[in-house]
Chain A
Amino acid sequence: MEQVSVQIKTLPADSDPFALRAARTIAAWYNEAGIDAQVVPVSEEELFRQVLLGNDFEMFLARGRGWNVDPDSLYSLLHSRFADAQGWQNPFGFVDLDVDGNLETQRRVTGAERRKAVAELLRSIARSQPFTPLVFPDDIRAVRRDTYTNWGDVDLQTPQGYLALQRATDAEEDGEEQTEVLRIMSTDRRPTENLNPLSAEYRRSGVVTGLVYDALGHVTSEGTQPWLAASWAFDRTTEGPRATIRLRPGATWHDGTPLTTADVAFTYALLSDTSLGSAGETGETDDDAAIPAPRFQGRAGLVSDVDVVDDTVATIQFVDCSPTVAARALTVPILPEHIWTERTDPASMAGIEVSQATEALVANNIPPVGSGPLRFRRNTPRESLVLEPFPEHFLADPDTTDLPDGVGPPPYDRFRIQFVGSDDAAIGVVADGDAEVTGTPVGTDAVPRIGRNDGLELVISRSDAPYLVGYNTQRAPFTNPRFRNTVARLVDVNHLVSAVFDGYARPTVTPIQEGRWVPSDLEWDETDGNPVTPFIGSDGEIDGGRARQAFRDAGYQYDDGRLLRGS
């Protein structure tokens, strides 16, 4: 019989300061346990194409999304009905009826009942391990302290963070006649080539497209709050909750076309089927042939119907769920009907079959026409992207009052993202005064460098997006939950935190941060580590004998120290 061999796909050091080191450390542990593990570095866009779109992987190590916002985000991540879907919709191909049941329950119930369902859900996945959450890293950034004063207080992982910056007063005085440019160094070149909010492989956090495209609501610590919508009110029909949405008056697209509720209705229709019903053969039902937008399939799936009342008022009917869950659907970007209605034809592209994609999913969407606070100015592919404030945005209107704390019109005349090959170079440019901030997080080597430089300030923020090891649960040996549970025990997350993350990360048992939703039995234990899948060994050293015993207990055999594939 053959030895178990796996390829771990991950990002090279240039794109991610930690992923490759973590993957190599894990591969070494696997090798100790008799698994032939190799690390394959792949560019970010290609990794997402292979893992999220093409299902072409055995294991991957990368950062997930911020599932912390609401546990219902786990619905599309893990529900078996998305096992064949693209994007972050169950990329693991995971099927577990208990998990499905708890995912469905937590949608419908509230309060203590919902917490119980979420706790059960988290317990199930901690045992069955569709993926192994590793750590929540700290995002480290270098910023120049002389231009903006409140870097440490804004959340640069959200579009709103870039709208809440406050210019230093002296910078304002001598800059009166000048064009103020917010210069951002990024090790991610994708926004310079593609601004399509629907492209799963081109988006990381969606901050840039989030500045160009407004959503009806935005996420705050108090739940979803109105943004492009002036207000909304929920009531309930027999089917589920219903929201009456009122748009802000005078909303317009960047090309001057008025933004109406027809665009809102169009957006939800497009997100659930980007072919708008034109794909598929005769005889297939609409659902079979639908080509949903991978990035928003989960949220768009909460909406069953949108009714346009007039240009500024619409009602949105949701599927059976609680209003809190329903409101998540209001955070998708609203797209202009007059542009995207032309993009429903099938398209072909690397990694996606022709029948699986429409123009809407593969268009680079440059120049983008959004309704957000920043509009496109110019781009040089692989080099830079320049945005500028949109003067007709509601943020620029002095009559707008109900804004979240600190958020206002952009305090700069240009928003410029410049691609740079590595985080070292990014910090170098900021240190030279040629940029204000490293937009993408940098590695821990940067911490002393930033500290030594007088003009630089170190900004460390806790991140919601965990590093995780994902398994393709439809490919042997990862089809077996006992196998996954056992390989999870080959990873010493405490050791990763100290050796790879230099302490700038918090280990985790679940994809959601400890707090409201995580039951105490799933909390990380300072000394014993993971309570569900404890490390087989200590201090980063595998206990070989115990590891082999664990695999034998799971029904596997060894030959001369090599773990063999099951019969």
Chain B
Amino acid sequence: MALVDVLLQVGLVVGIGHLLGYWLLLGDPAARPSGPAQGLQQRVAGEARRIQRNLRAVVPTLAVLVGVLAVNSVVRDIGVELSWLIGLNITRYIFLLEGQLVAVIQSIATPTLTAYFGFVYVFGYTFVLTFPVLAYLLTETLQPVRVLFTAYILNYGFGLGCYVLFVAYGPRNFMPELVEPLLYTAWPQSQLLVQQVNTNTNVFPSLHTSLSVTVALVAVQFRESHPRWTPVAILLAASIVFSTMYLGIHWATDVVAGAAVGWASVALATRVGDESLVRAVRRWRDRRTDAASK
């Protein structure tokens, strides 16, 4: 089945990306307590233990994230119906605002650029979302991974709200005579994957942009822990943000809104996100155990 093939390809490429990233971007001997003399086996074993410990500590936040993703996938289906009912169809307003900007961006298209941007849109994006999880689970402090997860939660929350409130088609759907669906012409099967997670009426804001910006901002904020990851994250995020317009999938308006959502999510997550969320979950859990023991 074509979808399975695409999934395997993405899994394989992103898996290799994680290994490479682990070696090249995280392998910072100075940051590790046991020093360079340590063998590979010990390093991996030690880090596996740390991941385990950190993972246990962020379980509440992770649970909320998983919950939000689950709700997201269910509500996405209902949300489409609901947004036709109560949402505002803003496609033509976006067009009035920015006109043919995306078509102008596409005028630089070459097969090489299309291959690059198609690659970062599908593979790069998956990598950018998953790699920092691994990276921050390896750090001594829990704060980065908590901020990351909380920011992810906020991104999906904002996104979902907007998707219900606004109906918007992307440029490839609105001005097909000017904007090519470059990704789907170059690699049709990728749409089988993309349609699993996206609906073509949900382009405002761009979640690709907001999540990439989130990862880049978090990478800058915690650049001490993985200094080599930070420039890579920024470069990848910038490429992904640009690719959404280059491929004709998003309007520049979606990208600006997406960047704002990403920035707001990180700002919020840094201030309130981690501790209060954890406390709230703990309180709720305690109350339940209290209630159960009564």
Contacts and interface: CB of A to CB of B under 8 A. Distances in A.
Contact of A429 (B172, B173, B177, B189): B189
Nearest to A22: B177
A421 B177 contact: no
A243 interface: no
Given A14-B200, A420-B192, A425 B177 contact: no
Given A14-B200, A41-B169, A425 B184 contact: yes
Nearest to B195: A421
A421 B201 contact: no
A99 to B, nearest CB: 33
A424 B2 contact: no
A20 B181 contact: no
B292 to A, nearest CB: 38
B114 interface: no
B92 interface: yes
B170 to A, nearest CB: 9
A427 B200 CA distance: 19
Given A12-B173, A13-B172, A24-B177, A424 B84 contact: no
Given A42-B89, A350-B81, A350-B84, A424 B173 contact: no
A20 B173 contact: yes
Contacts of A424: 181, 184-185, 188, 191
Interface in A405-430: 420-422, 424-429
A141 interface: no
Task: Please tell me the size bucket of the interface on A.
Answer: 20 to 34
Given A421-B195, A429-B189, A21 B176 contact: yes
A41 B85 contact: no
A445 B182 CA distance: 13
A13 B91 CA distance: 13
A39 interface: yes
Contacts of A24: 175, 177
Contact of B84 (A40, A43, A428): A43
A84 interface: no
B92 A38 contact: yes
Interface string A367-385: 0000000000000011000
B290 interface: no
A431 to B, nearest CB: 8
A432 B2 contact: yes
Contacts of B194: 421
A46 interface: yes
A13 B203 CA distance: 14
B1 interface: yes
B189 A13 contact: no
- Grouping DSSP codes into helix (H, G, I), strand (E, B) and loop, the B interface class, with mixed when no group exceeds half, is helix
Contacts of B172: 13
Interface in A21-38: 21, 24-25, 38
B174 interface: yes
Contacts of B84: 43, 46, 350
Given A21-B177, A432-B189, A421 B2 contact: no
B175 A420 contact: no
Nearest to B80: A43
A434 interface: yes
A434 B77 contact: no
Contacts of A7: 92
A487 B56 CA distance: 68
A473 B207 CA distance: 41
B92 to A, nearest CB: 5
Interface in A443-489: 445
Given A12-B169, A12-B174, A422 B77 contact: no
Nearest to A8: B92
B174 A429 contact: no
Most buried by B among A20, A40, A41, A43: A41
Nearest to B82: A350
B91 A40 contact: yes
Most buried by B among A42, A421, A427: A421
B188 A427 contact: yes
Interface in B71-105: 77, 81, 84-85, 89, 91-92, 96
Given A12-B173, A14-B173, A20-B173, A420 B92 contact: no
Interface string B48-74: 000000000000000000000000000
A454 B92 CA distance: 41
A13 B191 contact: no
A426 B2 CA distance: 11
A21 B176 CA distance: 6
A248 to B, nearest CB: 39
A39 B89 CA distance: 11
Contacts of A39: 92, 174
Contact of B77 (A14, A382, A429): A382
Interface in B112-149: none
A6 B187 CA distance: 37
B184 to A, nearest CB: 4
A455 B123 CA distance: 29
B174 A20 contact: yes
Given A20-B174, A41-B169, A420 B89 contact: no
Interface in B1-51: 1-2
Contacts of B81: 350
B1 A434 contact: yes
Nearest to B5: A432
Contacts of A422: 181, 184, 191
A63 B53 CA distance: 61
Contacts of B175: 20, 24
Contacts of B169: 12, 41
Interface in A18-73: 20-21, 24-25, 38-43, 46
Interface in A356-410: 381-382
A12 B248 CA distance: 14
A310 to B, nearest CB: 46
Interface in B155-188: 169, 172-177, 181, 184-185, 187-188
Contacts of A38: 92, 96
A483 to B, nearest CB: 23
A429 B2 contact: yes
A193 to B, nearest CB: 10
Nearest to B170: A12
Closest 7 CB pairs of A and B: A428-B188, A425-B191, A12-B173, A13-B176, A421-B195, A424-B184, A425-B188
11 contacts: A12-B174, A20-B175, A38-B92, A38-B96, A40-B89, A42-B89, A382-B77, A422-B181, A424-B185, A429-B192, A432-B189
